Amino acid sequence: MSVLSVQNLQETFVGKNIARTANVQFTDPNASAYIADGEVVVLNSSGAPMTTATTNTYAASPWIQIVQRNGDNLVFSGKIFGDKVTAYRGKAGATGQEQIYHIGYNGTSGSLDITAGLDFQLTVIENQDDMMWSEQKKKNVVYVPNNLVTSQQDLAKAIVKNQMKKYTTDGSAITAVMLNSGAGSIFTGAANIAVTHGSNVIVPNVAITNAGFGAGSIARIGVTGSGVGTTIPVYTVLGAHPTIANAWILDQPYAGPSNSALLVANAGVVTAGANWGVRFTGKALPYRRDFFKFKRVGFTLQMSGYGATVLSKTQDATYGSGDGRLVLEEESFSKGFEGALNRMTVPLPLANETFTADASTASTLNTTYGDAFVNATLYYDCITIEHYGQDFATVVASPRMPQLIKIFMYDTAAGGAGAAQGTTDNTTKAVQPALNTWMASVPGAFANVTAFA
């Protein structure tokens, strides 16, 4: 005899970035105030949209439901009985970050120790999921013989040259740049310079006139608003470009974001200081729903022969919370990943399903590091409800089935914080305040999910 079983059900609702419909109703699509596409509403046990009124406490409404319009369809959650709720929580959307490590000088302190008398070996190990095969990890070993190093700058240049080759030609997701403790002075003569990510050519709009600038000079190049402080990467100038007027060739590819007219307030010449270091930065990986999972780069640095050189773990990679890419994965998971099934076709065919979560991204400048990072355009707040449903886990007598409901809302004046869907919104029919009123009155007396903004 076969026994059907369904356990640990998850239901996911993703609200669109739209305002709350005044006097919302969901019974007549031809009447005014019909629930908008993507709108999420909490219903009481009478089937009416919930408000913060006392009539919508547990005593008046022993169970509630969540409803969302998806196109022409209404999607209802299972019934949530107040005496079966085991948890009620909320979490605000927050930006994640990429991993950044330094060896030697980190923009504030430290140096590269070249006095140990040993050959230098630095192993860069990429740890993200797609860099593991048969329990082996992708490794890049930077080996620099001791007899080729007479200064910290020599060692820093050798490390960066090797890693940037891996980045530009071999598919590594980690950039490396040099740092120096010397003071910087902005370029004179030119008003701006053109820089291209991955290129070692910089093109000023007119000639740079700083005294002594030329082959062997140290250039510091950041991003808009970064200035030319010691946390901004430096490059050695190899010489003038042979065919492009006013252009210069650098010893390493520019690792920052492309800019056709970077103001010289953010680029200049450095009087070399005593201390050198290298910054390693994880960069964005490809993402596509149900094909390329959302991941952040993780890496390990192992040093041998570097003496007292300090490894500064400036920041580790984090996913944040409510990132639109993560929310889209949650939504796809709840749909059973029933998108395009043929994973062998390139390009991947589009699925016939519709999804609400917005997984778009944008590049954001970071003026501290003189770099740019890819971040989600939207960060969703999340409300979770854990409860036991009225269904049983199997067809034979057993404990009731645990269920989880996740409600994602976008927090702006249009989509959550104003008269809108319902995270920080104070309108009486918003999701968060309505749920807070009811959850506080159930037997578990759950604390309010506090304002997200």
Question: For the segment 59-106, what is each residue's pLDDT rounded down to a tens digit?
Answer: 999 999 999 998 888 999 989 999 999 999 998 888 999 999 999 999
pLDDT for residue 2: 37
Q: Which residues of 43-52 are buried (b: 16+ CB within 10 A; e: fewer)?
A: bbbeebbbbb
The answer to which of 127-131, 388-392, 393-397 has the lowest mean pLDDT is: 393-397
pTM, rounded to two decimals: 0.87
Is the predicted pLDDT of residue 11 greater than 80, yes or no?
yes
pLDDT for residue 425: 42
Q: Taking all residues of the chain, what is their mean pLDDT, rounded to a whole number?
A: 87
Is the predicted pLDDT of residue 49 greater than 50, yes or no?
yes
pLDDT for residue 427: 46
pLDDT for residue 20: 79
**In this prediction, what percent of the chain has a pLDDT beyond 90?**
65
Mean pLDDT of 340-369: 74
Q: Which residue has the higher pLDDT, 258 or 399?
A: 258
Most confident range, picked from 6-20, 57-71, 394-408, 410-424: 57-71
Domain edges within the chain: 9-93+379-441, 100-315, 324-376
CA triplet 320, 163, 278: central angle to 5 degrees? Answer: 70
Q: Which residues pair with 126 in a beta bridge?
A: 138, 299
pLDDT for residue 416: 40
Is the predicted pLDDT of residue 219 greater than 90, yes or no?
yes
Most confident range, picked from 26-35, 127-136, 409-418: 26-35
Q: Are the C-beta atoms of 234 and 179 separated by less than 8 Å?
A: yes
CA triplet 231, 235, 205: central angle to 5 degrees? Answer: 100
Most confident range, picked from 174-188, 283-297, 436-450: 174-188
Q: Are the C-beta atoms of 48 and 409 separated by less than 8 Å?
A: no
Coil, strand or helix: which one is 168? Answer: helix
pLDDT for residue 339: 47
Which of the four pLDDT bands, split at 50, 70 and 90, describes residue 134? low
Most confident range, picked from 12-21, 100-109, 291-300: 100-109
